């Protein structure tokens, strides 16, 4: 389980144990400390379209990208892997017709060490997800489940929330918003 210290110093991995992270700087402070990265496009903010789910309101990690549409087979497959404190970024095409993420895969993601999940689409089983120690952002919730065809694309650039997000970039999320950076940030 990760622990967070909300003092104003920065997103930083604790040296006490590699799996413990401390949120020591807010996304606002990261923006203030890195205006040159904002100007050259290396630090971008997603549009504020995402609702906050899960117990972990502050999280960060290296991005893994996935593109699916109303199908959650690949989402589940990714979350069954070891997360290594990464963030799964799922471009669900912005669909509001069904949920592409539910409670069981989120529990699995929590148990496998994922830091968070960003969904450009809907989730379901909100009460179960809100009980998990993981960060989840999604456009909304929807009771209908996704199809199970296994269609989608992995590890490619996705575009939503007003910005491009590439596999291997870094994502920082807190209650102010979501940032994407080409490299890991420090203040």
Residue 103 assigned as binding residue: yes
Superfamily of domain 42-181: Ribonuclease E inhibitor RraA/RraA-like (3.50.30.40)
Residue 48 assigned as binding residue: no
Query: 10 Å Cβ neighbour count for 159?
Result: 11
d(CA 177, CA 21): 19
Strand 21-23 with 59-67, pairing: unpaired
Average confidence (pLDDT) per 10 residues, the chain, 187 residues: 32 38 75 96 97 97 98 96 97 98 98 98 98 98 96 97 98 97 87
Q: What would the pLDDT profile of 157-168 be if each residue is shown by its tens digit?
A: 999 999 999 999
Hey, where are the domains in the chain?
Answer: 42-181
Residue 8 assigned as binding residue: no
3-state secondary structure of 175: coil
pLDDT at position 2, please?
32
Residue 140 assigned as binding residue: no
Residue 157 assigned as binding residue: no
d(CA 45, CA 137): 14
Residue 116 assigned as binding residue: no
pLDDT at position 5, please?
33
pLDDT at position 186, please?
75
d(CA 62, CA 47): 19
Whether 163 and 46 have beta carbons less than 8 Å apart is answered as yes
């Amino acid at each position: 389980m990760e622990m967070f210290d909300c003092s104003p110093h920065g997103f930083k991995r604790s040296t006490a144990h590699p799996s413990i992270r401390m949120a020591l700087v807010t996304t606002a402070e990261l923006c203030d400390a890195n205006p040159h990265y904002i100007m050259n496009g290396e630090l971008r903010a997603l549009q504020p379209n995402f609702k906050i789910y899960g117990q972990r309101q502050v999280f960060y990690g290296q991005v893994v990208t996935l593109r699916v549409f109303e199908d959650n087979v690949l989402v589940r497959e990714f979350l069954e892997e070891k997360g290594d404190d990464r963030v799964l970024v799922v471009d669900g095409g912005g669909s509001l017709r069904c949920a592409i993420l539910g409670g069981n895969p989120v529990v699995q993601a929590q148990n496998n060490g994922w830091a968070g999940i960003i969904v450009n689409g809907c989730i379901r089983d909100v009460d179960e997800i809100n009980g998990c120690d993981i960060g989840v952002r999604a456009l909304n919730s929807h009771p209908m489940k996704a199809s199970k065809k296994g269609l989608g694309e992995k590890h490619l650039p996705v575009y939503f929330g007003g910005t491009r997000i590439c596999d291997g970039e870094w994502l920082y999320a807190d209650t102010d918003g979501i940032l994407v950076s080409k490299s890991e940030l420090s203040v």
